[in-house]
């Protein structure tokens, strides 16, 4: 059974005003004092962000429980310092980000300028184990066209600096300002992948291979493929659903590779359009079908994802969980839809944030 790990970035906010708070260093110091030796929480680019990483799990119920537990632990530690955590992929309220103390982050700010300071965005990265780099590249080549569907499911960033952006995932538009971000063409072999990464670093535009921000890549630290397209999800069960679907995609792609079925050859140009469509509308309008690259109703495209991964989900015992999770998602909508509904009810973005603090912990 392939193991799965999830990394989530959370926003630190004032529980009353909803404004982001630059307290990550203090929260991490509190964590180190209360739980010495813990390996869950880390700092991120800005001091208004806190990241956690689950342990690798083979059982999706256990993974879902750990996501909830990590969120609650993050909330507890932050609460001891008078702030809260919110699973928001962008801050709805205006914010001036404060850079974390780190030579790497200072390099980013110096080399990329303003785009670095606009990267206060929170994502969800999913790691799935693979047997080798060769299998990992075969997987990456075969899941490319499905990644925009995951973007639409996770979309949770409609607001930016106090305004509605008209996007469901504005985080993705901000993130894609990095020069190495976005979809990729098929690599065809592990050797070609590693050569491409080496060539990109050799340009000097990137500090190292950790700055190769492909939508999906081989992890530089673990024997995994790392899927990086998702916004951090407002609800923990949506994050667990995405992890379940991604494991199904990875296993299905690996089986296709072993069976000699070729990877789809969709161009990067089409993949960018599919990704834009998903970021713009989320689940509220058509998505581009990953097979035909033509518009189709979002529920139908999500159904096709379940069908494509069906055998792998069944083999892992995840089929019923995925079906129920998808039904729940279609009924209530993604985080972007939830945030806009909250704004309609509350009338101001401050209350949207404070309500999302409650949603973060379920």
Mean pLDDT of the chain: 97
Counting the structural domains of the chain, the total is: 1
Q: How many helices (H) and strands (E) does the chain have?
A: 15, 11
Q: Is residue 246 helix, strand or coil? A: helix
Per the domain annotation, does 164 fall within a domain? Answer: yes
Burial 244-257 (b: 16+ CB within 10 A, else e): bbbbbbbbbbbebb
Q: Residue 10: what pLDDT?
A: 98
Residue 67 has pLDDT above 80, yes or no: yes
The C-alpha torsion from 140 through 168 and 238 to 139, rounded to 10°, is 0
Residue 361 has pLDDT above 90, yes or no: no
Residue 37 has pLDDT above 80, yes or no: no
Per the domain annotation, does 140 fall within a domain? Answer: yes
- What band does 235 get if pLDDT is binned at 50, 70 and 90? very high
Q: Residue 308: what pLDDT?
A: 98
Q: Residue 77: what pLDDT?
A: 95
- What band does 261 get if pLDDT is binned at 50, 70 and 90? very high
Per the domain annotation, does 351 fall within a domain? Answer: yes
Per the domain annotation, does 156 fall within a domain? Answer: yes
Range of the domain at 130: 96-360
Per the domain annotation, does 61 fall within a domain? Answer: no
Q: Residue 34: what pLDDT?
A: 86
Tens digit of each residue's pLDDT (9 = 90 or more) over 166-219: 999 999 999 999 999 999 999 999 999 999 999 999 999 999 999 999 999 999
Angle at the Cα of 65 (from 64 to 66), degrees rounded to 5? 90
Evaluate whether 158 touches 213 at the Cβ level (below 8 Å). Answer: no
What does the pLDDT average to over 120-147? 98
Tens digit of each residue's pLDDT (9 = 90 or more) over 274-331: 999 999 999 999 999 999 999 999 999 999 999 999 999 999 999 999 999 999 999 9
The overall pTM is greater than 0.95? yes
- Tell me what percent of the residues of the chain surpass a pLDDT of 90: 97
Q: Residue 293: what pLDDT?
A: 97
Per the domain annotation, does 242 fall within a domain? Answer: yes
Per the domain annotation, does 291 fall within a domain? Answer: yes
The CA distances from residue 103 to 27, 45, 115, 133, 213, in Å, are: 20, 11, 17, 30, 19
Rounded Cα distance between 150 and 166, Å, is 19
- Tell me what percent of the residues of the chain surpass a pLDDT of 70: 100
Out of 37-41, 315-319, 353-357, pick the least confident.
37-41
Give the relative orientation of helices 268-281 and 147-154 as an angle to the nearest 10 degrees: 10
Per the domain annotation, does 155 fall within a domain? Answer: yes
Burial 178-187 (b: 16+ CB within 10 A, else e): bebbbbbebb
Q: Specify the CATH number for the domain of residue 151.
A: 3.30.590.20
Q: Residue 338: what pLDDT?
A: 98
- What band does 359 get if pLDDT is binned at 50, 70 and 90? very high
What does the pLDDT average to over 142-171? 98
């Amino acid at each position: 059974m392939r193991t799965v790990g999830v990394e989530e970035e959370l926003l630190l906010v004032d529980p009353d005003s909803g404004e982001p708070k630059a307290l990550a260093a203090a929260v991490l110091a509190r964590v180190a004092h209360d739980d010495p030796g813990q390996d869950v929480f880390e700092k991120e680019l800005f001091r208004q962000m806190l990241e956690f990483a689950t342990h690798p799990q083979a059982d999706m119920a256990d993974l879902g429980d750990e996501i909830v537990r990590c969120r609650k632990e993050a909330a507890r530690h932050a609460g001891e310092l008078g702030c809260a955590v919110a699973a928001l992929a962008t801050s709805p309220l205006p914010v001036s980000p404060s850079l974390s103390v780190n030579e790497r982050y200072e390099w980013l700010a110096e080399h990329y300028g303003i785009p670095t300071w606009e990267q206060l965005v929170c994502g969800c990265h999913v790691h799935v184990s693979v047997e080798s780099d060769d299998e990992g590249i075969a997987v990456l080549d075969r899941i490319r066209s499905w990644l925009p569907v995951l973007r639409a499911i996770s979309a949770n960033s409609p607001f930016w600096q106090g305004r509605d952006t008209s996007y469901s995932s504005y985080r993705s538009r901000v993130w894609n300002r990095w020069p190495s971000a976005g979809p990729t063409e098929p690599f065809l072999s592990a050797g070609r992948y590693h050569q491409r990464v080496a060539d990109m670093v050799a340009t000097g535009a990137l500090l190292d291979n950790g700055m190769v921000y492909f939508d999906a890549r081989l992890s530089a630290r673990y024997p995994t493929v790392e899927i990086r397209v998702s916004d951090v999800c407002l609800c923990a069960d949506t994050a667990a659903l995405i992890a379940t679907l991604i494991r199904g995609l990875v296993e299905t792609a690996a089986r296709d590779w072993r069976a000699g079925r070729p990877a789809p050859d969709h161009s990067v140009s089409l993949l960018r359009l599919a990704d834009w469509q998903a970021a713009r509308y989320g689940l509220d309008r058509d998505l581009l079908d990953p097979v035909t690259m033509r518009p189709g109703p979002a529920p139908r495209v999500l159904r096709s994802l379940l069908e494509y991964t069906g055998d792998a989900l069944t083999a892992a015992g995840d089929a019923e969980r995925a079906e129920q999770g998808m039904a729940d998602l279609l009924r209530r909508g993604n985080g972007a839809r939830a945030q806009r509904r909250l704004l309609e009810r509350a009338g101001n973005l401050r209350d949207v944030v404070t309500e999302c603090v409650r949603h973060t912990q379920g």
